C-alpha cells in the first residue's frame, strides 16, 4: 500500500491509498486496507469498487469481516470513502 496527499476542495489534505492492481482484485472479493484505527473495507461488486469504514457503529467491532450479510440501519451512519481506478490501480481517497 502506498499513500499520497493532496489538498481537497475544502483545503483539508486528502490521502490516496493504493489498494492493488485491478487485475488482482476479482469481482465478488474484498480487501481490508490497513488505514487508521480500524481499517477500510474495499469491495469489488460486479466490477464497481466501494469502500466503507471497517467499524460497526452499533457493536463497535469490525464490520467488514466474516462471510455473512450485514444489515446496516441508516441511523448507524457507516462511513464511506470514494474509490477510483488510476492507471490500472484501485485507489481509496480518505
**How many distinct structural domains can be found in the chain?**
1
- Model pTM? 0.79
Q: What's the pLDDT score for residue 2?
A: 59
Q: What's the pLDDT score for residue 46?
A: 95
Domain at 54, CATH number? 2.102.10.10
> How many of the other CB atoms lie within 10 Å of CB of 52?
18
Q: What is the pLDDT of residues 59-79, one digit of tens each?
A: 788 888 866 555 556 666 788
Question: Chain-wide mean pLDDT for the chain?
Answer: 84
Structural domain range at position 16: 3-93
Q: What's the pLDDT score for residue 56?
A: 82
14: which residues sit within 8 A by CB, 6+ positions away? 5, 6, 7, 8, 93, 94
CB 20, CB 36: distance < 8 Å: no
> How many residues are given for the chain?
94
- pLDDT, mean of residues 16-33: 96
Amino acid at each position: 500500500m502506498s499513500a499520497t496527499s493532496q489538498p481537497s476542495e475544502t483545503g483539508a489534505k486528502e490521502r490516496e491509498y493504493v489498494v492493488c492492481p485491478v487485475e488482482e482484485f476479482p469481482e465478488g472479493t474484498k480487501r481490508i486496507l490497513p488505514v487508521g484505527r480500524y481499517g477500510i473495507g474495499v469491495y469489488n461488486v460486479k466490477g464497481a469498487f466501494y469502500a466503507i469504514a471497517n467499524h460497526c457503529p452499533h457493536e463497535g467491532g469490525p464490520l467488514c469481516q466474516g462471510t455473512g450479510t450485514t444489515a446496516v440501519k441508516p441511523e448507524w451512519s457507516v462511513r464511506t470513502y470514494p474509490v477510483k481506478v488510476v492507471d490500472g490501480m484501485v485507489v481509496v481517497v480518505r
